[in-house]
Structure 1
Amino acid sequence: MEIVLCVTGSVAAIEAVKLARELRRQGASVTCFMSEDACRIIHPYAMEFATGSKPILELTGEIEHVKYADADLILVAPATANIIGKLAFKLADNPISSLLLTASGMGTPIVMVPSMHEAMYAAAKGNMRRLRDEGVVFVEPRMDEGKAKFPDINTIVLEAMRQTSKQRLRGKRVLISLGGTYEPIDPVRGITNRSSGKMGLAVARRAYIEGADVTLLAGIISVDIPQQFTVIGTETADSMASAVRELIGEHDVFVSAAAVADFKPTYTERKISSDGELTLTLKPNPKIIKIARELNPDALIVGFKAEYDVPRDELIRSAEKQMQEAGVDIVVANDVSVEGFGSDSNMAIIVSDEALELPVMSKDDLASLIIDEIAGKLEEKERNS
């Protein structure tokens, strides 16, 4: 993955070093173009350290604006109102504007990260609309203190990875539940399942990278959601079930990664006294994955099955049972006694046409394998249709 990072003269240029380092950690080869104003904010040596090569500050006989214009991605971060306007009106009077004009003519993907005063951002929106119509992608800034500020670096990297992927899920709508649900006992107490939402978010990120339009049904989570996702809060199992009923018909894939409470207590309107013993009456919650299958027989459905301290054979049988009873296409089964809740790693078995037993790996790596399985199933489905 070859990315050209263009750094222009916004104060947010100070974030470019961290951005370049993170892109390289994701496997990208990064070449940097810097404007004269950017060089007044950060020294070119800093970008040389971050990218591993000298930044391009001027055009020479090597015609750098043509040499690098066919990269996998041109990323302008930060993008000033000035550079946005120059591309909108096809002006080329410096190395970066010349590169962008050439790349635009070649059809190279361009992503811009606006960073400027709020009033300038408002004035530049017409130029941004014009560029969006031409295929330029904008990562929305973080609006704060009267400024359009640089967004979280991971958000920018996520968009860069999407624009440089094979986009095997382009045009697909993916619905993903994540986190735990909370079932109230009274106005101040409740019962819940432990879940951070990390696994569901990892799958969401990988689906987005592969071109999918992703909607999240978020229960109780402890992760930050990138701005690219549509998020619907679903605190209880009933609210999550209602959201699935409403949305499943519009989606091609449903990934049920949430840890939904199996039972809910009878709710008491007033706070229960803390004196003495308490007996709770529990009622079963709706089986969301079954609802999804009943309402959308054509959707590809992925379930998660968590067990605690069981043999691998029993874990596989439990996954196969879920596939048979709920009509699930793929089940990701794991023993949470091996890698606990909130961990960044997981040891799972992906059960589909066969059982793929996996070693302990990061949740990001596991998410990649899950999306590989989903993409393969969808491709097979399309071939047979």
Structure 2
Amino acid sequence: MLNGKTIVLGVSGGIAAYKAAALCSKLKQAGAEVRVIMTESATKFIAPLTFQTLSRHDVIVDTFDEKDASVVSHIDLADRADLVVVAPATANMIAKMAHGLADDMLSTTLLATTAPVLVAPAMNVHMYTHPAVQTNMQTLAERGVLFVEPGTGQLACGYVGKGRLEEPERIAEAIERFFGEKELLQGKKVLVTAGGTVERIDPVRYLTNDSSGKMGFAIAEAARLMGADVTLVVGKASVQTPEGVRTVRVESAQDMLEAVVGRLPEMDIVIKAAAVADYRPAEQAEQKIKKKDAEMTLKLVKNSDILQTIGSLKTKQFIVGFAAETQSIDEHAMDKLKRKNCDLLVANDVTQEGAGFGHDTNVVRIYDRSGLVEALPVMSKREVARHLLLTVADRIRKGD
């Protein structure tokens, strides 16, 4: 899987730097071309000669130590990389990445590369859970940076908790899995809807819902990483849209319907993760409605059902719907799947802890026409997205 791939391995200054040597060895044995960049701090824990011997290439530490006059080293490495792996990634290096600092060879190369980046954090448990570190990791995740979660156990500082660099074998498996999944949706055109819709009452007021867009954005990002050509139709959202996808901004349910239906014929997969308003005001005031009476009656009319519409129009498309429920989840999910002609339906109980709008995690159940396919435990929305798309890719491959 790694044969012929160029992996830039960034080693930052933590005690876990010694594990990076084993990772370098495993990647080299798997056929990868490994180029190592070390921070100055990392060299205090392990010598560059170790990585030079394992990788069969010079190790770069100093940004200004240019060994080949025909290239600029950090640009050359940034362009060569099929994947950049930072292991271990200290709290300091994660902060540099999040804020775009470039004060050493590794951080400069990370700013210059357009290759995917995988980060394996390693630090004290209290550092790992610090709000600043968590915010920085969230920022990177929203930009599409991949993470290998640290392990839990005895730390070098004496604490027991989460923060230990994952074992080299597990990181190598994550890297192989990345390259293995990279072509699962190659050549497929995927349309994802995300966020909530806005139904205007007047120029300053509207009806909407609590959708953050996180689930749809995670799906769009996962599809891109699997090689798909992704179009994201997004309404109101509270997080940054993922990079590398075509984004279409809409406001109302009608706007979203038109954006989806107009692009439907060219799509292979449609995943409707947006939370679309069922109703809209019958009339939209041209000016701000002034407060007058003790009561105000607002007349609502039903919006067109986007999922049902595309279900009735589909030809070759594989359609995935979402259902946010608060009770009788199995019954409502199966009814919705059949009525709206979906191939798969993903449902969740938004009242369940760890699920629903605004969370970084979700708890979902996946259905097909035969019933429940799989009930997933609490996991990050990015893992839910990856799992869902693996299921979709497998069904398409089998012709189901």
What TM-score comes out, normalization by structure 1 length?
A: 0.65
Q: Secondary structure at the match of 1:275?
A: coil
Conservation of the 8 A alpha-carbon contact between 1:251 and 1:299: yes
Conservation of the 8 A alpha-carbon contact between 2:311 and 2:319: yes
Compared CA separation, residues 86 and 377, structure 1 to 2 (3 A) = farther
Per-residue deviation, residues 148-187 of structure 1 (Å, max 9, x unmatched): xxxx754463599796243211111111001101100011
For 2:362, which of 315, 333, 346 is the aligned residue? Answer: 346
Match of 1:279 in 2: 297
Match of 1:157 in 2: 145
Per-residue deviation, residues 352-377 of structure 1 (Å, max 9, x unmatched): 14302233222222222211221111
Q: Secondary structure at the match of 1:65?
A: coil
- Determine the C-alpha separation between the residues in 2 that align with 1:163 and 1:79: 29
- Determine the C-alpha separation between the residues in 1 that align with 2:195 and 2:74: 46
Match of 1:192 in 2: 208
Compared CA separation, residues 86 and 57, structure 1 to 2 (3 A) = farther
Match of 1:326 in 2: 340
Aligned residue runs from structure 1 range 16-27, under 5 A? none
Q: Secondary structure at the match of 2:193?
A: strand
Match of 1:229 in 2: 245
Residue identity over aligned pairs, in percent, reads: 33
Residue 56 of structure 2 is aligned to residue 64 of structure 1? yes
- Determine the C-alpha separation between the residues in 2 that align with 1:254 and 1:370: 13
For 1:315, which of 326, 329, 342 is the aligned residue? Answer: 329
Shift of 1:137: 6.2
- Aligned-residue CA RMSD (Å): 4.5
- Determine the C-alpha separation between the residues in 2 that align with 1:46 and 1:54: 8
For 2:273, which of 231, 243, 257 is the aligned residue? Answer: 257
Compared CA separation, residues 63 and 260, structure 1 to 2 (3 A) = closer
Residue 33 of structure 2 is aligned to residue 33 of structure 1? no
Shift of 1:96: 10
Conservation of the 8 A alpha-carbon contact between 1:206 and 1:368: yes
Which shows bigger deviation, 216-225 or 162-171? 162-171
Conservation of the 8 A alpha-carbon contact between 2:220 and 2:242: no
Residue 296 of structure 2 is aligned to residue 296 of structure 1? no
- Determine the C-alpha separation between the residues in 2 that align with 1:153 and 1:280: 43
Compared CA separation, residues 300 and 58, structure 1 to 2 (3 A) = closer
Conservation of the 8 A alpha-carbon contact between 1:48 and 1:55: no
Match of 1:46 in 2: 42
Structure 1: runs of 5+ lacking an equivalent? 8-12, 69-75, 89-93, 118-127, 129-135, 140-151
Per-residue deviation, residues 248-269 of structure 1 (Å, max 9, x unmatched): 1111111100000000002111
Compared CA separation, residues 323 and 212, structure 1 to 2 (3 A) = same
Q: Secondary structure at the match of 1:272?
A: coil
Shift of 1:210: 1.5
- Determine the C-alpha separation between the residues in 1 that align with 2:257 and 2:357: 23
Conservation of the 8 A alpha-carbon contact between 2:63 and 2:74: no
Compared CA separation, residues 358 and 58, structure 1 to 2 (3 A) = closer
Structure 2: runs of 5+ lacking an equivalent? 28-33, 86-99, 103-111, 117-138, 148-173
Q: Secondary structure at the match of 2:199?
A: strand
Residue 235 of structure 2 is aligned to residue 206 of structure 1? no
What TM-score comes out, normalization by structure 2 length?
A: 0.63
Match of 2:285 in 1: 268
The letter for the 2-side match of 1:331 is L
Conservation of the 8 A alpha-carbon contact between 1:180 and 1:219: yes
Q: Secondary structure at the match of 2:232?
A: strand
Q: Secondary structure at the match of 1:351?
A: strand
